[in-house]
A and B are shown apart, each in its own frame.
Chain A
Amino acid sequence: MTEQIEFRIRRQDGPETAPYWQAFRVPWRPGHNVVSALMVLRENPETASGERVQPVAWEFNCMEEVCGACSMMVNGVPRQGCAALIDDLEQPIVLEPLAKFPVVRDLMVDRAAIFGTLQRVKAWIEIDGAWSVHQGAPRISPQEWLENYHYSQCMSCGCCLAACPQYGPGNDFVGPNALAQVRLMNAHPTGRYNRTERLHAIMAEGGLSDCGNAQNCVRVCPKEIPLTTAIGELGREVTLQLARDLFGKS
């Protein structure tokens, strides 16, 4: 008999229905990750006890840990299913939908809130238009580039939000990923021009001061983004901004 991978998957047929658990077995193959094993399972979805069920719904696209689609709780930890190698995981492997987000179906969640927040903090550079102006942006030193590059790899996967004790339904904390984007945009040589607006956005309710500094976020970010460093830097910027606001300078 071939070796089997044991799964316990939390299922939910729709946003309003109650969750339930099912156990599955998938034949082991070298190199399997959670997504590739789920792909095998969907072809012939049968529980461990041989009951034919509806296939497990989940999201994925790149299978290279760069699109951010396949976030889920794997053995209780928010991470990308495509980069979770079966051989590194304790079995039965427990899969649950990404915490903090409304379930759509099974392991599919609705992460629209992430993108709404990016609007709220104005995570973009103001440009006159997407046409050529016959010059680029001002220079950026390699050191500064390296710091910025850490933050620009955020794929809005939501893992940090799933882990953050402050983030969740019923409160409007923007979350570490959005704060890191403010840090990134404020560092850009022309992004700086709109620094004040972004800072004001995170000085409002649900902003920076909601962070309890629990450091959970950095521990789970698959891109190893130094989220708490960004939060620290923003703390100082916000203090300066408060002073500027007080003295009526922008």
Chain B
Amino acid sequence: MRRVIVIGGGLGGLWATLRIAEAGFRVALFSLFEVKRSHSVCAQGGINASLDTKGQRDSIWQHFVDTIKGGSYLANQPPVKSMCDEAPGLIQTFERMGVTFSRTPEGIMDLRLFGGVRNKRTVFAGASTGQQLLYGVDEQVRRLEAAGEVEKREWWEFLSIVRDDQGVCRGIVAMDLKRMEVKAFPADVVVLATGGLGQIYAPKTTNSTNSTGAAASRVFQQGALFANGEFFQFHPTAMLGDDKTRLMSEAARGEGGRIWVPKDPSDQRPPNDIPERERFYFLEEWYPTYGNTAARDVASRAIWKAVRDMGMGVGGEDKVYLDLTHLDPKFVELRLGAILRIYRKFHGSDPVTEPMEIFPAAHYAMGGLWVDYEKNEESGGLSCGSTRNHATTVPGLYACGECDYGYHGANRLGANSLLSASFSGRAAGEAVVSYLKGLEPGSDSVPLSRAFEGEVQRQQAINRSLMVSRGGENAYALHRELGELMTDRVGVVRDNRQLDQAFGELKALEERAERIDLGEASGWANQTLSYARQVRDMIQLAQVVARGAQERDECRGAHYKPEFELEIPQGKFPGDPEFEVYRQAWKENNRKWLKSTIARYTPDGPEVRFETVDTTILPPEQPRDYR
């Protein structure tokens, strides 16, 4: 019997599990905790699919164009094309699963407008779309579990893959998070769907604690390639917090919210006592056309500039006001109820009467494990069911969801990642089924016990050394330092001097992480042990992010190095000579930099090379222009 392991029970992992189990292969599903608690539940806004039910003649082509341009052409186009093509069918499938999408008066799925696009294309379920989508697939997986086709291993942490002499992935080693027992699980194929890596910026991230990237880092250290690590989306408006920073949706700005700081940074007065003329509405001043509704990355950079470069943060801290108090309270309640509830609940004050305090936060990793695809020359999209789709560089190891790099290029369009997580999970599942069908009969019986034993012993040794180490370093403090360092030097705005420094500091952290003192000796449900291991792997992955940022001397999407900025000439449009000069410079820059960054692990730090991007469907002729 063939054995399949899926690691991760967010949208990506559950979709992969469904498709594989439906094809008649039994799946063992590993997760750090009950899959229903995966980070995917945090998504509120919605999921994109061109349903064209709003009289705007929206089209799948336009969805594709928006995604590619939004990502500054850095995404390979065949997978993106298939994702956009299949989005409507995918949404209908969710609907059949019982997902409670919000309705129009006629009882069909409603659509809302989301950032960066002109057409209504975002399906949503109240203010909890991710939760509803995840529950839809969770219930289907439970159905298959009841039928004996899926076996859940919740409370098991993936530690490493096991490769045979040919380098093929033949199973995994995982740790029971209660007994702390390390065990090998042979498999014919392994799918990694372990989510994003926002925790390397903690606490300034909107991500859950499961988004450490540790699992991706582990397979990276075992030879899988990691692509586009430097591309990280920062959300401009996250409410402050010591534990995490919680997302305040774009809608707050969209509905008229204004961002400001006191003109005098030492002003101690409560915001409501600061008169209008003593406030600095910097977005309105710097971007007269868009003002407060400037695109995500523009807004993040502006806040960064005001606070970090100009020292204008409220009370000298990483803090600016997002103000709704000038709006009609009834209107705010009606349009922004969900945001108000979150802010009241977690901050304790009321945004209707008091400005919210916000700052940018690490939100979404566009980069991830490098995965392959096979192009269908006829359609330009994916060749469905090809064993190459979503295959990592390690044979027998697949990746999907936020932990792959496939769909967003240099920046992600709002509401496109629930889509990519779901679509990629399904595509990976289908690829795995083909892979299994193509395996030589009997290849599962090759004795590999030595490889497994060796790997189990290696992992046990890591645990043992952590359990006895008295090096004095605190895993939690190291994580905080990592987050601070990444936020300061590898964050919203980057420059090479800072990046060089960051790299040195990361190396120092790596070294200190060898001397972690757990302060806990329990052999039962020892959370510090698991955490300490994750911190080490996060430091490794942070180096990939920093190295990519170092190497990429340009501005593209979310990666912003002002030294290399090509600015669109003000007031000039296609056809104007100044604009055409800019277009030429932009194309010239593309020839050099329109390439994926591919990182390979070496003990001295990640090594980077660049790979051509498939831009055959929509060649890069039009610079992204949100004016």
Contact = CB atoms under 8 A, between A and B. Distances in A.
Given A126-B143, A142-B104, A87 B97 contact: no
A66 B128 contact: yes
B37 interface: yes
B105 interface: yes
B524 A88 contact: no
Contact of B103 (A32, A142, A188): A142
B89 A132 contact: yes
A88 B210 contact: no
Contact of B474 (A43, A126, A153, A184): A43
Chain B: interface residue count, which band? 35 or more
A75 interface: no
Nearest to A135: B92
A141 B246 contact: no
A52 B126 CA distance: 46
A243 interface: no
Interface in A85-116: 85, 87-88, 104-105, 108, 111, 115
Interface stretch (A144-152, A164-172, A226-234): A144-152
A136 B37 contact: no
Contact of A61 (B39, B102, B132): B39
B145 to A, nearest CB: 7
B342 to A, nearest CB: 7
A38 to B, nearest CB: 9
B243 A35 contact: yes
Nearest to B522: A54
Contact of B527 (A57, A65, A137, A191): A57
Interface in A113-129: 115, 118-119, 122-127, 129
A20 to B, nearest CB: 15
A149 B525 contact: no
A195 B522 CA distance: 48
Contacts of A40: 242
A47 to B, nearest CB: 14
A64 B93 contact: no
Contact of B139 (A36, A123, A190): A123
A23 interface: no
A77 interface: no
A55 B519 contact: yes
Nearest to B210: A61
A119 B135 contact: no
A32 to B, nearest CB: 7
Nearest to B357: A31
Given A55-B528, A130-B426, A13 B522 contact: yes
Interface string A179-203: 0000011001011000000000000
A119 B345 CA distance: 33
A88 to B, nearest CB: 7
Interface string B58-75: 000000000000000000
Interface stretch (B14-22, B549-557, B613-621): B14-22
B100 A67 contact: no
Contacts of B105: 142
A189 B28 CA distance: 32
A31 B525 contact: no
Contact of A130 (B19, B100, B210): B19
Contact of B107 (A64, A104, A141): A141
Contact of A108 (B126, B132, B146, B525): B525
A59 B32 CA distance: 11
B278 interface: no
Interface string B435-474: 0000000000000000000000000000000000000001
Contact of A155 (B22, B36, B241): B36
Contacts of A132: 86, 89-90, 92-93
Contacts of B515: none
B140 A190 contact: no
B209 A60 contact: yes
Contacts of B42: 62, 64, 66-67
Contacts of A122: 143, 146
B282 to A, nearest CB: 25
B240 interface: yes
Contact of B37 (A39, A69, A134): A69
Contacts of B244: 63-64
Contact of B34 (A31, A62, A111): A111
A133 interface: yes
B142 interface: yes
Contacts of B107: 139-142, 145
B387 to A, nearest CB: 19
B34 A115 contact: yes
A140 B37 contact: no
A148 to B, nearest CB: 5
B246 A64 contact: yes
Interface of A: 13-14, 29, 31-33, 35-36, 39-40, 42-45, 52, 54-55, 57, 59-69, 82-83, 85, 87-88, 104-105, 108, 111, 115, 118-119, 122-127, 129-137, 139-142, 145, 148-149, 152-153, 155-156, 184-185, 188, 190-191
Given A105-B525, A119-B146, A137-B95, 16 more contacts: A29-B242, A39-B243, A40-B242, A54-B521, A61-B208, A63-B243, A67-B39, A67-B208, A68-B36, A115-B142, A124-B142, A133-B96, A142-B107, A145-B102, A184-B98, A190-B96
18 contacts: A14-B525, A29-B242, A54-B520, A63-B209, A64-B342, A66-B42, A66-B131, A83-B345, A124-B98, A124-B143, A125-B139, A137-B92, A140-B103, A141-B107, A145-B100, A145-B107, A149-B126, A155-B37
- What 9 pairs across the A-B complex have the smallest Cβ distances? A132-B89, A139-B107, A36-B243, A124-B139, A136-B92, A105-B525, A43-B476, A67-B37, A125-B98
